[in-house]
Structure 1
Amino acid sequence: MDRWIGIDEFVAVAVCGSFTGAADQLDTSVAQVSRRVKALESTLGYQLLNRTTRKLSLTTEGNVFLSHAKHLQHVLDDATSALRQRDSQPAGKIKMTAPVMYGEQYIMPLVNQFMSKYPNIQIDMELNNNQLDLIEQGFDFAIRLGNLKDSSMRARLLTHRQTLVCGAPEYIDNNKPIKSIADLDNHACLVGQSSVWRFVEKGKERQISVKGRLRCNSGWALVDAAKQGLGLAQLPHYYLIEEIEKGELVEVLNAFRPEAEGVWAVYPPRRYLPTSVRELLEFLAEGLLSN
């Protein structure tokens, strides 16, 4: 097992960019991290890190070895997980990430319920609208919305989201009728991150460029603007459903709704998922379907 000594420390140093950061991550001392990395270099017969007083960087050999070292970590995790599959009670730490709004509103309440059910579970959640590197940053899985890009990651469909176009009753009553997609040219559209809205017409997807007085990358801000009669907003249903039920917003162009998109759990391609992760994914799938 001497061949394993220093691998965790080397990967942590490479990811954190410093021995101090690696020591904090591994909950050990800087001296211990340094000793183990030197032992690994001695075993391999190659220098993996360039060390100066101002800068730490990977050597050419270090860059080559890093991806393989991460793979070795996953293999060891999988071997350990294979043994723990027999455990009836999920335990351990799960590191995950999700988009901010969806994570706050839908994922974290279920995660909190899961933690109440399994007291030996620890959760490290990062709410972030950027698509983080799961392997580089050590995430067990990520919640991703919409159509997935091609990648080596594995994915599990948890539920769907539907995109709607809505406006305030007063706005709809006081402006030209909205019976077709072409009618959007006569209306103020509240623009989010993209000025392209998606629809389905006669069985084919159509993408329409829209314009209006307001552009904002916050869904909640667009909902408020729509409620105040500033125009129409196209957003996922979970932003709008409560306002629709209250009568504060009305859906239009429902005959042209785009195809529902997936809500996914995406995770690195490992042979075995830890029991804790498998159970949490099942819990999320059941909880999201009931919402």
Structure 2
Amino acid sequence: MDRWVGIDEFVAVAICGSFTGAADQLNTSVAQVSRRVKALEATLGYQLLNRTTRKLSLTTEGNVFLSHAKHLQHVLDDATSALRQRDAEPAGKIKITAPVMYGEQYIMPLINQFMSIYPNIQVDMELNNNQLDLIEQGFDFAIRLGNLKDSSLRARLLAHRQTLVCAAPSYLTNAPKLNTLEDLEQHYCLLGKSSIWRFVKQGKETHFNAKGRLRCNSGWALVDAAIQGLGLVQLPHYYVEEAISSNALVEVLDQFKPESEGIWAVYPPRRYLPTSVRELLEYLAKGLAVP
């Protein structure tokens, strides 16, 4: 086991950027972290860190070794987890990140239910619209919406989202005709972060450069603007389905709606998922009712 000595300490120093931060993370002393990193360097025969009084940085060899060291940690975690009974009751801490609105409205209610069923589960949830580095920041998994970018992460489909174009009946009554995508040129569009609206026409995806006098990065604010008759809005179904059910909004151009997109749980490439994470993913998939 001497070959493992110093790996946890080295990774912690690389991530925290200091021996003090690594010691706090590992709940040990700075001296112990320093000794173990030096022992690892001696075993490898390479210097992994540049140490000065003002700055700590990885050497070229340190950068190469870091990704492999993280992988070794995952392998050891998997080996340890594999020894546990797979049917054991979920327990322990699960660290998750999710987009703010979707996390608040759909993920957290299910997680709260899950925690009420399994009292030994602890959850650390970060609601953030930025795509955080799961491995760097120690997340067990993340909720991601839409088409996934190519990556080394594993992904599990939890549900689908459908993008709809809607408007208030009061807007449509006095607006120009709206039968084709070309008719959109004559309409006010309520814009989010992107001005590009996606559609499918004759079996092929096509884009429309929407224009309007309101832009806002809040989907709920755009729904309210649409209900008040300020224009058309294109949003995922979970923003507008309640307004459609109450007839506050009407779906239009449904014959051109784009293909549905996935709602995913993505997680680091580990051979074995802890029981707690695996059971929570199952619970989310059932709760979100993936077809």
Q: TM-score range by the shorter chain?
A: over 0.9
User: Contact (CA 8 Å) 1:85, 1:274: kept in 2 or not?
Assistant: no
Q: Unpaired runs of 5+ in structure 1? A: none
Distance between the aligned counterparts of 1:47 and 1:209, measured in 2? Answer: 54
Aligned to 1:213: 213
Distance between the aligned counterparts of 1:224 and 1:53, measured in 2? Answer: 56
1:28, CA displacement in angstroms? 2.8
Distance between the aligned counterparts of 1:213 and 1:89, measured in 2? Answer: 54
1:212, CA displacement in angstroms? 0.6
Residues 206 and 85 (structure 1), Cα distance of their counterparts in 2 relative to 1, 3 Å cut:
farther
Aligned to 2:264: 264
Aligned to 2:109: 109
1:290, CA displacement in angstroms? 7.8
Distance between the aligned counterparts of 1:239 and 1:249, measured in 2? Answer: 11
Moved more, 163-172 or 85-94: 85-94
The residue type paired with residue 29 of structure 2 is S
Aligned to 1:284: 284
TM-score for both structures, normalised by structure 1: 0.95
User: Contact (CA 8 Å) 2:158, 2:290: kept in 1 or not?
Assistant: no
Moved more, 16-25 or 144-153: 16-25
1:35-50 equivalence runs, <5 A: 35-50=35-50
User: Contact (CA 8 Å) 1:169, 1:249: kept in 2 or not?
Assistant: yes
SS of the residue 1:125 aligns to:
strand
Number of equivalent positions: 291
Match status 1:154 vs 2:154: yes
Match status 1:93 vs 2:99: no
Sequence identity (%): 81
Moved more, 103-112 or 19-28: 19-28
Distance between the aligned counterparts of 2:28 and 2:248, measured in 1? Answer: 55
User: Contact (CA 8 Å) 1:167, 1:231: kept in 2 or not?
Assistant: yes
Distance between the aligned counterparts of 2:37 and 2:92, measured in 1? Answer: 26
Distance between the aligned counterparts of 1:131 and 1:226, measured in 2? Answer: 29
Q: Unpaired runs of 5+ in structure 2? A: none
Aligned to 2:131: 131
1:269, CA displacement in angstroms? 1.6
SS of the residue 1:13 aligns to:
helix
Distance between the aligned counterparts of 1:44 and 1:126, measured in 2? Answer: 37
The residue type paired with residue 257 of structure 1 is K
Distance between the aligned counterparts of 1:188 and 1:232, measured in 2? Answer: 6
Aligned to 2:21: 21
User: Contact (CA 8 Å) 1:168, 1:228: kept in 2 or not?
Assistant: yes
